[in-house]
Amino acid sequence: MSEQQLFKVTIDNITVEVAPGTTILNAARQIGGEVTPPAMCYYSKLKDSGGKCRTCLVEVSKGSEKDPRPMPKLVASCRTTVMDGMEVKNITSPRVIDARAGVVEFLLINHPLDCPICDQAGECHLQDLGYEHGKEETRYEFQRRSFHKVDLGEYIQLHMTRCILCYRCVYTADQLTDSREHGVLDRGDHAQIATMIQKNLKNDFIGNVIDVCPVGALTDKTFRFKNRVWFTKPMDAHRDCSKCCGEVQLWMRGDEVYRVTARKDEWGEVKESSKGSTGWICNDCRFDKKHASDWIIEGPTNVSRHSVISANHYQKLEQPKETVTEVMNGIEPRLFMNIHDVSEVNQQHVQLSLIDGPATGKVFNKNAD
């Protein structure tokens, strides 16, 4: 086979060469970092996904070498393929930043923002999106849309109120299982994910809808409310499984396995297995194998994502190159200040639990005399 000609595409002034047919989003992922548009609905492992959430909109300032005209509208980078010589603006385009902030606002106006009681908190893509691309305040003043919680069978719960209608779970159910029993009912802002007449989802691979869901709309009933993700340690583990690749992540606390999920890559997508097959895992591995003894544990997962999970010390630690002594021009480090002398809050005679109302400086000064 003759060598395939590559297309040059420039995104935010960084040029990469990619195979024809590559989308702008995937080209940007090759560059990585901030240049990569956020993607809430696209999922590279799911055919036909993408195009819906509009968070990945970018500006094409030059169509191609042959036809340099800019594209008049912003385009969904996840569904637009690159042309040779194309120039794309993502974070260098004020139009994109503005439109994206608009999309984030739209996604949030009907979202319950119940993160404190949501199992997805800490690994939720909507939290990341809002933090990275949204505005601090909402201008929405109406009652938010809400739905009743529904059990989709024994293992999965649907909180439709949190759903952003990315359709990932629909494609997953369609493409990984052989019966079509999970889809969207109604339309517009009253559309909802539903199973056929609330039928249980029984298929062996249906648990994967939990992994693809970017928010806390589909949660694992065997894990619900048992722990917060940032208290658990993700460990890579595997077992011999006749149904799937058997390569998983165990979310452990001590010796206890709280949750089993598929392994994810840096974009939050289920990774290929080490044998090159798909990384989707079966319901047995996910819901039934909850003992450390069921698994061969390989070691802690490298968490490189910017989520709170990485605060759990699982990133490879790097020794700082300079010591404090060096930074301070040879002065030996000692306590910079004695916190007990400086802070009023730490004065032992104040019993915080007995204060009426919020603790303010006044309380402490009054008691300090």
Strand duo 156-158 + 150-152: pairing? antiparallel
Residues that bind another protein (CB under 8 A): 50-55, 57, 73-74, 76, 79, 98-99, 102-103, 105-107, 109-110, 139-140, 142, 164-165, 167, 183-184, 186-191
Which CB, 110 or 310, lies closer to ligand FES? 110
106 binds, among ligand SF4, ligand FES, another protein, none (CB under 5 to 8 A by kind): another protein
183 binds, among ligand FES, another protein, ligand SF4, none (CB under 5 to 8 A by kind): another protein
CA distance 196 to 177: 15
Q: Is 268 an interacting residue with respect to ligand FES (CB under 6 A)? A: no
Name the β-bridge partners of 261: 249
Which CB, 155 or 167, lies closer to another protein? 167
Phi/psi of residue 106, each to 5°?
-60, -40
Q: Is 40 an interacting residue with respect to ligand FES (CB under 6 A)? A: yes
Q: Is 163 an interacting residue with respect to ligand SF4 (CB under 6 A)? A: yes
With beta carbons less than 8 A apart as the criterion, state whether 171 and 43 touch: yes
Take residue 145 and report the two structure tokens written for it: 């849309």
39 binds, among ligand FES, ligand SF4, another protein, none (CB under 5 to 8 A by kind): ligand FES
CA distances from 243 to 48, 51, 219, 261, 288 (A): 25, 32, 22, 15, 13
With beta carbons less than 8 A apart as the criterion, state whether 72 and 53 touch: no
73 binds, among another protein, ligand FES, ligand SF4, none (CB under 5 to 8 A by kind): another protein
Q: Shortest Cβ distance from residue 355 to ligand FES (Å)?
A: 49
> The tokens 């590279």 sit on which residue?
44
140 binds, among ligand SF4, another protein, ligand FES, none (CB under 5 to 8 A by kind): another protein
**How many residues form the binding site for ligand FES (CB under 6 A)?**
13
CA distance 287 to 149: 20
Instruction: Please select the residue that binds ligand FES; options are 42, 155, 205, 258, rule is CB under 6 A.
Output: 42
Footprint (CB under 6 A) of ligand SF4, residues 213-242: 213-215, 217-218
DSSP code per residue over 202-231: --TTTTHHHHH-SSTTEEETTTTTT--GGG
With beta carbons less than 8 A apart as the criterion, state whether 250 and 292 touch: yes
Q: DSSP letter at 159?
A: -
Instruction: Please select the residue that binds ligand FES; options are 8, 54, 202, 226, rule is CB under 6 A.
Output: 54
CA distance 287 to 279: 16
Instruction: Please select the residue that binds ligand SF4; options are 86, 212, 237, 248, rule is CB under 6 A.
Output: 212
Q: Shortest Cβ distance from residue 2 to another protein (Å)?
A: 25
Q: Is 206 an interacting residue with respect to ligand FES (CB under 6 A)? A: no
Instruction: Please select the residue that binds ligand SF4; options are 39, 57, 60, 169, rule is CB under 6 A.
Output: 169
Helices (H) and strands (E) in the chain, counts: 9, 14
Single out the residue of 69, 44, 71 nearest to residue 36, CA to CA. Answer: 44
Interface residues with ligand SF4 (CB under 6 A) are 163-169, 193, 212-215, 217-218
